[in-house]
Structure 1
Amino acid sequence: MILLALGQLRRRPAAFVGLAVALFLAVATLTLFGSLFAAHITTPAAAREATTGPGLMVIAGAFGEIAVLVAFFVVVNALGFALRRQHRELALLRTIAATPRQVRRLVRGEVVLTTLLVAVPGGAVGTAAAQGFLTELQRREMAAPGVRVPGTPVPVSVALAVALAVGLTASAVAARRISRIAPAAALTASATEHGRAGAPRLLAAVGVLVGGGLLLRLAATRTAEQVDKAGQAALLGSLVLLVAVALAGPLVARVLAAGLGTPVRVLAPSAGWLADANLRGYARRLSSAVVPVALLVGLSGTMLIMTSTARHAAGTAASSVTSATDVWLRQAELALLVCFAAVSTVNTLVAVTAERRREFALLRLVGATRSQLLRMLTAEAVLTTAVGVLLGMTVAGAASAAFSTAVNGSPSPSLPVADCWWIVAGATVLTVPGILATGLWAVRGPAAELVGGGGD
């Protein structure tokens, strides 16, 4: 199975690019914060205490908690799309007597090989990033001058082990459906989509939603002296709410697309109607495209609004919230989260659009021109962006309201309108050009050959 998995990677490397990038970021992030923990542990106590800041362990823990969770979110999402690109081939293997266990072993082999390929560069980047981050902390007197990143392979080894564990767990879940159904049904399922979210998935969404609500309640009940803890609870709560959005995505996305699709149909009667029908008819595909946009908008919006609220509440007084070093820390955390969310957004949108080559070819065979297909994709991109932004800002609003309650006793946060517009603009820039650029590639080639499967 390892040789077969290696053959898959060699024959269709494009199907694994998104997964490789996600795993690379996960290994680099784990190595970064693991190296900081190792630096703290290996430094003598006297040297560690030669600073008045919050301490390297506190900073690394606060950063790593959210960043690692987001990294794993991106890995699971990318793995799902890597398997979707192979769905037809895995179905064919089932029809020629491959057992469910063999299919799962093949998927596990692909995950292991991809993780090993990115382990060395990911570890190197993570170690270099840890050294650079530590240097910045020391320059800002937030870490003791005597702290050094140790030259040990332990952080990289731990990062590799954790990334493998997450990838293998995610692969077991992702490969379950294709490996358990009957061989003939597996081939049929590769060309269809079940738009409805199942009851277990909706129940899981409700449970995760309740968990996110409890985290926001915890953030709201913190005292004004526990601003940092309130901020971390609110940020973690926003991430949990975004997971709930991902679980309930097909249902939520279909409802929002139905409401937002009306003005699009009015502005662009033909392309808008077809785009709206596509999005509502393929709810899972819409959900897959919307969730990364919501992740990008939700996390960055939460961070910006919380920072603005804290600074507004403190006024001109010097505090742990408004100090220059704290602002720099928040900006660094925001940059890291935005990087992960942006990678997830681009990976997902490219994968979602690229897998529609047969659909576009069929439309061309019944008379649609390339320009008409691109107008349809433009309308879909606008709707996708609108749904993602709406979901992300809803999550950001809930998390920021909880944080504002803890900071100033009011659920009305200080809203940085200009920054929020930049978030919307950034999401639009990532979404619309990404879909259209992939669409230009997807509508190329002879339509009859693509419908027959020759161009996949």
Structure 2
Amino acid sequence: MILLALGQMRRRAVAFVGLAVALFLAIAALTLFGLLFAADITAPAAARKATTGPSLMVVAAAFGEIAVLVAFFVVVNALGFALRQQHRELALLRTIAATPRQARRLVRGQVVVTTLLVTVPGWAAGAVAAHGLLAELQWRGMTAPGVRVPGTPIPMLVALAVTLAVALAASAVAARRISRIAPAAALTASSTEHGRTGALRLLAAIGVLVGGGLLLRLAATRPAEQVDKAGQAALLSSLVLLVAVALAGPLASRVLVAALGAPVRVLAPGTGWLADANLRGYARRLASAVVPVALLVGLSGTMLIMTSTAEHAAGTAASSVTSATDVWLRQAELALLVCFAAVSTVNTLVAVTAERRREFALLRLVGATRSQLLRMLTAEAVLTTAVGVLLGAAVAGAASAAFSTAVSGSPMPSLPVAACWWIGAGATALTLPGILATGVWAVHGPAAELVGGSRD
């Protein structure tokens, strides 16, 4: 079974590289904040009393709470995509007498192997980041000079255990459908994509959406003096709403593409029509590409708008040491979140485009030229970016409105227009070149061999 799992990983290298990067980020993030917690616990009492600001544990919690959740969000998204890539192979195994239990064991083996491969690099990156962040906090006077990152391996082992538990739980959910249906039905399902989002998935999306609404209400009803709590609740609500977007992604993406595709079809009657039909016909694939873009725009937009709103409500920005520290912490947290979201965006878009080599070869055999396929990909990339930006902007708008209500009494936040334009430009800069660069590679090669041979 291990050899079979390794063979599948080599065959689907692009998808598993994305999963490996996501797991690496999760282990590194958990190691980073675990080591900071350990540093605070093992610090001498005199060192703890040497600073008047928040303790190292409080700072680490403020950083880690959302960052770790985002890392696991990225892991689940990457894992779901990697397993969808293997749908056909798993279905074939079922038709030659593999049991559902063996199919699930194969998936678990892949998850364990991928996690172990990135464990040591993740530990190393987390430890380096912990030393660097602690040094920065000490330089800014937020932590006493006597505090040191301990040499205990416990935070690293906890990081591995938690990441592995989350990945295995996500793999069990993702492999459930292919392992429960009949082998012949599994093979048929692998060659097509369902046109409708399942009822259970929609119910889960509605439930998560309700949870996000409750968090928005919690953020909006915080007293003005509890700005930090309102900000944490608003940021957490944006992540919960993004989970709802991921669950309802195929349906939401199809609806938005239907609305946005009309002008594309008018401007490019041939390639625009084909791009619109591709995106609507393969809504799950579209959702895989849209969700990371929405994550990037939603989280970065929420952080920037909340920061601008808080500064506007205070009447001045960073006029004291404390407020300057708060601004630095928010900027550092934003940089970390954007890093996770950007990596997820690039990985997913490259993998989604790379898997379409056989599809492009079929189109070439029926008369499409490489330049036409690249124009179609350009139209798809524009629509994908637009859908992701709109969904992310909706999440950021809801979260920042709740935060603005708490700090100023008005649901209209202070909008940093230039920064918001930069977010949109950044999402576009990550999306379009990633899709087109991979597309240039995907449309080359002998079409007949690609159609008749491997799907890769």
Q: TM-score range by the shorter chain?
A: over 0.9
State the match for 1:257 in structure 2.
Answer: 257
> What secondary structure is seen at the aligned counterpart in 2 of 1:340?
helix
Does structure 1 residue 59 correspond to structure 2 residue 59?
yes
Deviations 1:342-387 (A, max 9, x none): 1111111112111212211111111111100100000000001001
Task: Give, as a single letter, the amino acid of the residue that structure 1 aligns with 2:72.
Answer: F
1:314 is matched with: 314
Q: Is the 8 A contact 2:318 2:327 kept in 1?
A: no
Could you tell me which residue of structure 2 aligns to residue 376 of structure 1?
376
Matched, 1:357 2:357: yes
Contact 1:216 1:402 in 2 (8 A): yes
Letter of the structure 2 residue corresponding to residue 447 of structure 1: A
Q: Distance in 2 between matches of 1:385 and 1:11?
A: 29
Unpaired stretches in structure 2, ≥5 consecutive residues: none
Instruction: Say which is worse superposed, 10-19 or 200-209, in terms of deviation.
Output: 10-19
Determine if contact 2:33/2:64 at 8 Å carries over to the other structure: yes
Question: Normalized against structure 1, the TM-score is what?
Answer: 0.97
CA contact (8 A) 1:48 1:146 kept: no
1:180 and 2:162 matched: no
1:114 equivalent to 2:119? Answer no
Shift of residue 319, structure 1, vs aligned partner:
7.0
Residue in structure 2 matched with residue 414 of structure 1 by the alignment: 414
- Contact 1:205 1:244 (8 Å CA) reproduced: yes
Q: In 1, Cα distance between the equivalents of 2:121 and 2:21?
A: 11
Unpaired stretches in structure 1, ≥5 consecutive residues = none
One-letter amino acid of the counterpart of residue 168, structure 1: L
Does residue 332 in structure 1 map to residue 332 in structure 2? yes
Q: Which residue of 2 aligns with 1:69?
A: 69
Shift of 1:185: 2.0
Q: Are 1:300 and 1:334, in contact at CA under 8 Å, matched by a contact in 2?
A: yes
Task: Indicate how the Cα distance of structure 1 residues 110 and 213 shifts in structure 2: closer, same or farther if over 3 A, else same.
Answer: same
Residue 78 in structure 1 maps to residue 63 in structure 2: no
1:54-453 aligned within 5 A: 54-316=54-316, 323-453=323-453
> Cα distance 1:91–1:317, how it changes in 2: closer, same or farther (>3 A)?
closer
Q: Which residue of 1 aligns with 2:26?
A: 26
Contact kept? 2:12, 2:85, Cα under 8 Å = no
User: What is the distance in 1 between the residues matched to 2:344 and 2:370?
Assistant: 28
Deviation at 1:8, TM superposition (A): 3.0
* Residues 33-74 of structure 1 deviation map (CA, whole Å, 9 limit, x = unaligned): 000000011112232121011111111111111001100010
For residues 201 and 239 of structure 1, do their structure 2 counterparts lie closer, same or farther at Cα, with a shift above 3 Å needed?
same
Which one-letter code corresponds to 1:449 in the other structure? E
* Partner SS for 1:278: helix
- Cα deviation, 1:285-342, whole Å, max 9, x if unaligned, reads 1111111100000000000000001111111276789721111111110011001111
The alpha carbon displacement at 1:427 in A equals 0.3
CA change 1:320–1:71 in 2 (3 A) is farther
> Offset of 1:279 from its aligned partner?
1.1
Amino acid at match of 1:209: L
Report deviation, 1:181. Answer: 1.7
CA distances 1:184-238 after superposition (whole Å, capped 9, x unpaired): 2222222210121111111111110010011011111111111011000000000
Assess if the C-alpha contact under 8 Å between 1:320 and 1:326 holds in 2: no
CA offsets per residue over residues 10-32 of structure 1, 9 Å max, x none?
45433310011000000000000
TM-aligned CA distance change 1:141 to 1:365, over 3 Å: same
Classify 1:410/1:333 alpha carbon distance in 2 versus 1 (closer, same or farther; 3 Å): same
Q: 2:110 & 2:397 partners in 1: Cα distance? A: 39
Q: Secondary structure at the match of 1:176?
A: helix
- Residue identity opposite 1:177 in structure 2: R
Given that 2:178 and 2:186 are in contact with CA atoms closer than 8 Å, whether structure 1 keeps it comes out as: yes
Contact 2:311–2:317 under 8 Å retained in 1: no
Residue type at the aligned position of 2:188: T
2:15 counterpart residue number: 15
Partners of 1:420 and 1:392 lie apart in 2 by: 12
Q: Deviations over 1:404-428 (max 9, x none)?
A: 1111111110000000000000000
Q: Return the letter of the residue paired with 2:65.
A: E
Residue 315 of structure 1 aligns with an amino acid whose one-letter code is: G
Give 1:451 shift. Answer: 1.7
The amino acid that maps onto 1:23 is: L
1:314 and 1:322 in contact (8 A); partners too = no
- Matches of 1:378 and 1:321, distance apart in 2: 48
Q: Which moved more, 1:319-328 or 1:400-409?
A: 319-328
Distance 1:140 1:349, change over 3 A: same
1:370/1:443 contact within 8 Å kept: yes
2: distance between equivalents of 1:320 and 1:341?
32
Aligned Cα root-mean-square deviation (Å) = 1.4
- Normalised by the length of structure 2, the TM-score is 0.97
What letter is aligned with 1:287?
A
User: 1:179 Cα deviation (Å)?
Assistant: 1.4
Aligned residues: 456
